[in-house]
Structure 1
Amino acid sequence: MLPPFIIEQIRQREEEKNRARREDNERPRLELPLERYPSPRRAPEDEDDPNRGVIILDLG
């Protein structure tokens, strides 16, 4: 058998856990309208962009 003060400590901890759960359930929540199945992304129509450039780095 456990000593009474240990039983009381266990009971207090359980009550604190239950109180925290209740407080979490009472808090307001924001639900975002997210799509479950997002539409596939379209590929860019013009792959060869004339503004595309090349950078050469000389590390030597």
Structure 2
Amino acid sequence: MLPPFIIEEIRRRENQQRHRYEQPQLELPIPVVTPNYNPPSRRDDDDRGVVIIDL
């Protein structure tokens, strides 16, 4: 059997959790906005800042 203070703590936490879920909630109709993302095109002739030095 659990000690009384542990049982009381469990009851207290259950009551807090129940109270949290019983609070009224309001859902707002916010439209979902998707960003228009166009990735930059990759071409083989792009300058990538690489220098090859032949010795």
Calculate the TM-score normalised by the size of structure 2: 0.51
Between the aligned partners of 1:31 and 1:9, the Cα distance in structure 2 is 39
Give 1:33 shift: 6.8
Over 6 Å off, 4+ runs: none
Deviations 1:31-53 (A, max 9, x none): 3577xxxxxxxxxxxxxxxxxxx
CA RMSD in angstroms, aligned pairs only: 2.5
Equivalent residue, structure 2, for 1:30: 28
Distance 1:19 1:13 in 2: 10
Corresponding residue for 2:5?
A: 5
The alignment status of 1:59 with 2:39, answered yes or no, reads: no
Q: TM-score, normalised by structure 1?
A: 0.48
| Runs (5+) with no aligned partner, structure 1 | 35-53
C-alpha distance in 2 between matches for 1:13 and 1:56: 61
- Cα shift at 1:59: 2.2
| C-alpha displacement of 1:28 | 1.3
Hey, what's the Cα distance between the residues in 2 that align with 1:10 and 1:31? 37
- What is the CA–CA distance in structure 2 between the aligned matches of 1:56 and 1:3, rounded to whole Å? 72
Question: Paired residues, what number?
Answer: 39
